[in-house]
Amino acid sequence: MIKQLEQLEMLIGKPVQIDVSLAKYTTFKIGGPAKYFFIAQDNEDLVRAMTFAKKLKIPGCVLGGASNVLISDQGFAGLIIINQAKDIVLKKDNRVVADAGVNLMTLVNKTAEDGLIGLEWAAGIPGTVGGAVRGNAGAYGGQMSDNLIGVEVMRGSKQFILDKKNCGFGYRDSVFKHNNDLIISAEFQLQKGDKAQIQARIKEILAQRQAKQPLEYPSAGSVFTNVLIGSHNQDLLKKVPNLPKEYLEYEKIPAAWLIEQLDLKGKTIGGAQISNKHANFIVNIKDASANDVIQLISLVKMKVRDTYGIELMEEIEYIGF
């Protein structure tokens, strides 16, 4: 291990740490140690670290805000790269380029200060641009793909811009969830608007998040994606009684509503709990382990499947399992 570490440090040109606990780097405050650990301060660091990890056949994983992940209690047997590249460039024609490591709230504030409309919906999301692009994050009627022009990626040893049409965006999905592309930065097309109105909308969204979400506890945000209703699954409507009309109109059943119908709010295993405030949040109420969370997730999936015939899909990403 020492020889491999020395090789990695020599190639990257900067120190690499070993056996670093990942719990303090995740919003869940859960996770074992990374065999190797490196903080990328800029895109050059990011590309070099991932390139040379591959060269040495070391598994590599990039984390930004680590807000939508569950890391194994055993940690990660490879190189964890914390991406802190943070450049934001305001270009002509109301276009903005942001490094993948930029915190979403920082980007929301920066564009709002410039009177640009399009990213207000992301106010309060604790993740980074890279993770949000990868999962096509969305809330309050908006999502990353709405204003995105293209994504700078590294695929193999080549770096290039992937146009939006080639990003395979879907509901909480993208091509990046299914390939090994390294997201370096993203470009957005925004519009000019009234600064006061933009700030008011951001303030309104932050207040709604505060009221509806259990922000007082560590969590990974929404655990499950909502259930889309379409021609492919009309039969499930017969199995879900008392479905509110607005869900039929939006063609989407909130996972939180399904979980709440089964009286699972407040269910606790170890230090993990299904939030009493929002049923699609699992919160770390007291030194929860990843295993505690996994057991709760399994319980919810089983109950929803057995009762409604619906297979809930996780929105969170598993690392080290």
89 token code pair = 């460039």
pLDDT digits (tens, 9 = 90+) for 13-67: 999 999 999 999 999 999 999 999 999 999 999 999 999 999 999 999 999 999 9
CA separation for the pair 126, 102 (Å, rounded): 11
57 token code pair = 């056949």
Active site residue 72: no
The pLDDT of residue 45 is 97
Q: Which of 72, 185, 219, 222 is catalytic?
A: 222
DSSP three-state, residue 107: helix
User: Are 34 and 16 contacting, i.e. CB atoms less than 8 angstroms apart?
Assistant: no
Q: Where are the domains of the chain?
A: 2-83, 88-197, 215-319
The pLDDT of residue 292 is 98
The pLDDT of residue 233 is 75
CATH number of 2-83: 3.30.43.10
Domain 88-197 part of CATH 3.40.50.10860: no
The pLDDT of residue 191 is 97
Which residues share a beta bridge with 186?
98, 151
CB count within 10 Å of CB 208 equals: 14
pLDDT under 70 in the chain at which residues? 1
Active site residue 6: no
Name the DSSP letter for residue 223: S
The domain 215-319 is classified under which CATH number: 3.90.1150.10, 3.50.50.100, 3.90.78.10, 3.40.1390.10?
Answer: 3.90.78.10
User: Are 60 and 18 contacting, i.e. CB atoms less than 8 angstroms apart?
Assistant: no
Q: Which of 120, 152, 187, 315 is catalytic?
A: 315
Q: Confirm whether 2-83 and 215-319 share one CATH topology.
A: no
The pLDDT of residue 232 is 73
155-168 burial, b for 16+ CB within 10 Å, e for fewer?
eeeeeeebebeebb
CA separation for the pair 289, 284 (Å, rounded): 8
Q: Which of 172, 187, 275, 289 is catalytic?
A: 172
Continuous segment of H or E residues that includes residue 35: strand 33-40
The pLDDT of residue 1 is 66
